[in-house]
Amino acid sequence: MSVSLLGIIFVQGYWINDSIKTKEEQLTLNIKQALISVSRDIKLHEVELYYSAFRELVDNSQEPDNTNIREIIYSRVDDITNEIFIYSNGITEEDYKLSSTFLDIGIDSVLFKKLINRTTTTRITPGVDGSESTSQTITDFRRMDEFERKHFESFIPTISDKIPIHQRVNDALIEKLLNKELKERGIETVFEYAIYSNQLATKVRSNDFELNAPSTYLVPLFVDENENSKYKLFVTFSNSRRQIFSSIIGMTIMSLIFTSVIILAYWNAIRQLIKQRQISQIKTDFINNMTHEFKTPIATINLALDALKNPKVEGNKEFMDRYLKMIREENKRMNAQVENVLRISRLENKSLDLKKERLKIHDLVEDAITHVELLVEDRGGYIKTHFAALKSSVLGNDFHLTNVIVNVLDNAIKYSEGEPKIDVYTENTSNSIILKIRDQGIGMSKAAQKQIFEKFYREHTGNIHNVKGHGLGLAYVKHILDDHQAEIYVESDRGKGSTFILKFQLIS
């Protein structure tokens, strides 16, 4: 299980790391494609700007400087009507030398080629008297903008190289194109940019641009026919890793949740194994203690029976009464031990029917003290009551609540070295009455305080129990108080005694 769990954690970590690398590569590819598109659009925007300007000049010009006509002519005769159709498809090239001073590009004039595509149809119809009639139709007439633009692009570098970069490209255009291309590729991140000329910064840059930022990409601008360029557009992304993580955060969280569930299940399985082992050890100790506790009274009863068979004792009433009392007490002792076990079993199976009535806690405490005061007096100790509660009426079962208090008092007596010194306090808080039973015994550790209400648990040193018992008394106390919706907890320090605190709900 441990090896498999470590393997799962390793695989999940490897998968997350691999996903991050894949997303980084995909993001880099998308950014590079976006920058290439931006570079192309910037160049086309400049071409379109100049083309539109010179196109307007051409449209306003009267006569071209030079005209070249390329024409294809072919004819067809209709066999039925004897009509002759003459088709003409021609391209007219008109060359203009246009003034460019209004664009402030550093040169006086620019050559511009205007292309016109014209398709005409001439129809010759013979008459009855031998005459002919002619008609002409222009079926298609359009300017060939695409061809003109291609021709115009060839000498754009001659024009633009004489212009500073900040006059060719502005911040608004770069930001518009970058936002458009990044949005189309699903990249939502903050960017900074700058244009460098031969490794030197230009005026075209954003306010917070840093060349040495971690996520920096570049693309050449205005590339010529030889794939050369003296301008480069640098773009930096400040939160690109955040976008990468946001794209895999959903699957990563699900993966971590399921892995955590497996870890918790693994931890719970190990804890259950350890707990079962502890329970097995506790039950073994219980059986050993029970065997010892039964062995002693059985041996005592056997000795008493043997003594009763002695002829010397048969006529002595004092000895007879003494041994009969001894047998009765030892029998009651064994019966009480069996009853403790059966009582816990009935409580766990919820087969114990507790009939409840109105009781006073002070009366229960006084009754419980009478059961143990002889044991305390025999050891030279005391039990003192300090009743400060003005209200003590609760709803409960007289027999079982008395047993609860007796068990707690008996516990205080057992774990007191020398003279048992026990103080019992009561007080009211809100709608409750709190009963405190404080002793000056050996106390208990913090670890023991968490387990003393578990069945069969007994704190011991090594394998030798300092006090005989079965670890059932406080478990019985906890079950009874739970049935009465009451609470019990303990405050204790090793060597300073213990205080058991019982909290009951008052009734009006």
- CATH no. for residue 464? 3.30.565.10
Q: Are 230 and 195 spatial neighbours (Cβ–Cβ below 8 Å)?
A: no
Domain limit, last residue, from 155, 174, 206:
155
Say yes or no to pLDDT of 401 above 80: yes
Among 141, 223, 232, which Cα is nearest to 193's?
232
Domain end position, chosen among 180, 207, 238: 238
pLDDT digits (tens, 9 = 90+) for 166-208: 878 888 888 888 888 888 888 877 888 898 888 788 888 888 8
Task: State the average pLDDT over residues 471-489.
Answer: 84
- CA atoms of 188 and 473, how far apart (whole Å): 68
* Same domain flag for 143 and 51: no
- Do both 47 and 80 map to the same domain? no
Instruction: Indicate whether 329 belongs to any domain.
Output: yes
The more confidently predicted of residues 106 and 500 is: 500
Is residue 9 in some structural domain? no
Mean pLDDT, the chain, integer: 79
Verify that 32 and 82 share a domain, yes or no: no
- Quick: pLDDT tens for 336-360: 667 766 766 666 555 556 788 999 9
Within this chain, do residues 461 and 358 fall inside the same structural domain, yes or no?
Answer: yes
At how many degrees (to 10) do helices 145-153 and 2-60 cross?
100
Same domain, 324 and 452: no
Given a cut of 60, whether residue 59 has pLDDT beyond it is: yes
What is the pLDDT, as a whole number, of residue 108?
Answer: 59
Q: For residue 408, how many other CB atoms are within 10 A of its CB?
A: 24
- Residue closest to 252 by CA, chosen among 1, 496, 19, 64: 19
**What is the tens place of the pLDDT at every residue in 204-223?**
888 888 877 777 888 888 88
- The pLDDT, as a whole number, for residue 457 is 63
Q: Rounded to whole angstroms, how far apart are CA atoms 233 and 201?
A: 10
- 94 shares a domain with 54: no
Q: Write down the pLDDT at residue 107.
A: 56
* 426, 468 Cβ separation under 8 angstroms: no
> How many folded domains does the chain comprise?
4
The better pLDDT of the pair 467, 228 is held by 228
Whether 447 and 497 share a structural domain: yes
pLDDT digits (tens, 9 = 90+) for 142-158: 555 555 566 666 666 66
Is residue 67 pLDDT above 60, yes or no? Answer: yes
CATH code: domain of residue 299: 1.10.287.130
Q: Is the pLDDT of residue 376 over 70?
A: yes
Q: Where are the beta strands (DSSP E) in 251-306?
A: none
- The whole-number pLDDT of residue 486 equals 93
Closest Cα to residue 171, out of 217, 208, 213, 203? 203
Query: Last residue of a domain, which of 133, 155, 177?
Result: 155
Q: Region 315-329: what's the mean pLDDT?
A: 79
Shared domain check, 177 and 149: no
Asked if 399 and 277 sit in the same domain, the reply is no
- Say which residue, 309 or 425, is predicted with more confidence: 425
Range of the structural domain that residue 294 is part of: 244-343
Instruction: Give the DSSP letter of residue 103.
Output: G
Give percent above pLDDT 70 in the chain.
77
pLDDT for residue 463 is more than 50: no
Asked whether residue 358 is assigned to any structural domain, the reply reads yes
- Assess whether 392 and 473 both reside in one domain: yes
Residues 310 and 248 in one domain: yes
Q: Are residues 494 and 466 in the same domain?
A: yes
